[in-house]
Amino acid sequence: MNKQPFHLILILLGGLLLLFVVAPLTGMILSTSGSSLFETAQNKEVLNSIKLTILTSFGGTLFFSFLAIPLAYIMARKEFVGKKIISGLIDLPIVIPHSAAGIAVLGFISRTSVIGKAAESVGLSLVGHPIGIALAMAFVSIPFLFNASRDAFEAVPERLEKVALNLKASPAKVFFTISLPLASRGIISGFIMMFARGMSEFGAVVIVAYHPMITPILVYEWFTSFGLSYARPAAVIFIAICLVFFIAIRLIIKEKR
């Protein structure tokens, strides 16, 4: 009985947090008419921006997962000088302003940079290109995948790997048959979080590529140009599509387990 008031306080505080998250979204949906949603849903500019947002975020997440997951495994299993510095560097995009992150990425892929010149040599300009958008998204979101993967590998009992090595299994076989499968749940969660964070990015992307427009930039431009009532339907549609998309991913992953 003595614990009951405390539990009620916890529930109240948690309910206030939930209300803070749900209330703005609910208000936005209720303030949007069905006719405006239907009209916006047929707008090719909106549909193209949503498609671009999903493809660039997913492409960047998929590409950098081949780099982040191996490094996460090394960080989970090895001790070496500078390990904490590496962890801090990877977390850095989370704490710096995203407009500054966009400027950093822009300098990295501009026509005067080594990467930019290499791309120009094959007729590709990364600035204002979907690849540039994907790079900007990945830069600010990769800590989510890396940290989730590292934590997942740390949770895998190291003794299982040592037993397999003692039985003459190669390090590669141990990684792909023991470590990676056992850590897959955490890695997939990190993949989804990175993908979601990339889709929502605005500050870094707007520096690298205002055009072609991803949906967050499109919503911002419509808001500044035409006002709240004009931009709201596009925001609602984008949120709804993201919600359906992520629920589908979760269900697919759950079925495969």
Between helices 130-154 and 180-200, what is the axis angle to 10°? 140
Going by pLDDT thresholds of 50, 70 and 90, the confidence category of residue 1 is very low
Q: pTM (2 decimals)?
A: 0.89
Show the domains of the chain with their CATH numbers: 36-256 (1.10.3720.10)
Distance CA 34, CA 236 (A): 11
Q: What percentage of the chain exceeds 90 in pLDDT?
A: 75
pLDDT confidence of residue 7? 86
CA 139, 192, 245, 66 dihedral sign is positive
Distance CA 149, CA 147 (A): 5
- Model pLDDT for residues 44-88, shown as the tens digit of each residue: 999 999 999 999 999 999 999 999 999 999 999 999 999 999 999
Between helices 44-77 and 83-95, what is the axis angle to 10°? 160
Going by pLDDT thresholds of 50, 70 and 90, the confidence category of residue 171 is very high
